[in-house]
Amino acid sequence: MPDRLIIAADNALKTLAGGLHPSRPTPQTPLAASAVLSDAERTLSGQLMRINHVGEICAQALYQGQALATRDASLRAHLLQASREEGDHLAWCAQRLRDLQSRPSLLNPLWYAGAFALGLLAGRAAGDKVSLGFVVETENQVEQHLAGHLQSLPQADVESRAVVERMKDDEVAHAQAAQKLGATTLPPPVRWAMRAAAKVMTTTARWM
């Protein structure tokens, strides 16, 4: 447990300080050349990618909290692998924010703490199957949210669109993997509460 606590703390510091580096290259699309964005387009893309960046901050925290909570070594390895893949998303979003001359959310430490507590609580109090249920519901909601961003992002911002497309595919795969591991379907009130919390987070992160 002490070693796992140190690993979790190290991941938190790297996540919040921008110290996670992608293991995969940034997604690109060969179908369209990048175009110069207008100020309004760059602002919109920056806002949407900041929301996506916050989502990846929360994904890191959720998986790390769940990995710390579980007593199943194979499940812990699975959760940490998913965390590494989400780390790619985080690094890609951070790079797009820099390219768009935008910034991360000022509330990232708060988002991380809340998601980590949720992952730890779900794993400790409810068990692995419910913990995996949180993964499924979270990834399903994120996949829907990314699909909405693909409709909202400027068509000219092909770089951001390529990143969001790849992230969306990965989230679907993570949800399917959690299902195969025996995830329990969360009751409707819990799913509704998660959606409400996500709405607050995305609305706030767009501006802060």
Q: What is the pLDDT of residues 19-29, one digit of tens each?
A: 678 878 888 77
**How far is residue 159's CA from residue 161's CA, in Å, rounded to a whole number?**
5
pLDDT at res. 45: 92
Higher pLDDT, 10 or 192: 192
Of the candidates 90, 115, 97, 99, the one whose C-alpha atom is nearest the C-alpha of residue 167 is: 90
The CATH homologous superfamily to which domain 37-207 belongs is: Ferritin, core subunit, four-helix bundle (1.20.1260.10)
Helix segments in the chain, DSSP class H? 2-17, 39-69, 73-99, 108-121, 128-152, 158-180, 188-207
178-184: long-range contacts, CB 8 A cutoff, minimum separation 24 = 178/132, 178/133, 178/135, 178/136, 178/139, 179/132, 179/136, 181/75, 181/78, 181/132, 182/128, 182/129, 182/132, 183/129, 183/132, 183/133, 183/135, 183/136, 184/129, 184/130, 184/132, 184/133
- Dihedral sign computed on CA atoms, order 127, 66, 141, 165: negative
What is residue 187's DSSP assignment? P
**How far is residue 152's CA from residue 32's CA, in Å, rounded to a whole number?**
18
Q: What's the rounded mean pLDDT across residues 125-133?
A: 78
Q: Please state, for a pLDDT cut of 70, what percent of the chain lies above it.
A: 94
What is the distance, to the nearest Å, from the Cα of residue 28 to the centroid of all Cα atoms in its chain? 19
End-to-end CA distance of the chain: 35
Mean pLDDT estimate for the chain: 84
**How far is residue 132's CA from residue 116's CA, in Å, rounded to a whole number?**
14
Q: Is the pLDDT of residue 69 over 90?
A: no
What six digits make up the tokens of 163? 């990143």
- pLDDT-derived band at 112, boundaries 50, 70, 90: confident
Q: Is the pLDDT of residue 6 over 90?
A: no
3-state secondary structure of 18: coil
The tens digit of pLDDT for each residue in 155-180 reads: 889 999 999 999 999 888 888 888 88
Of the candidates 174, 32, 13, the one whose C-alpha atom is nearest the C-alpha of residue 89 is: 174
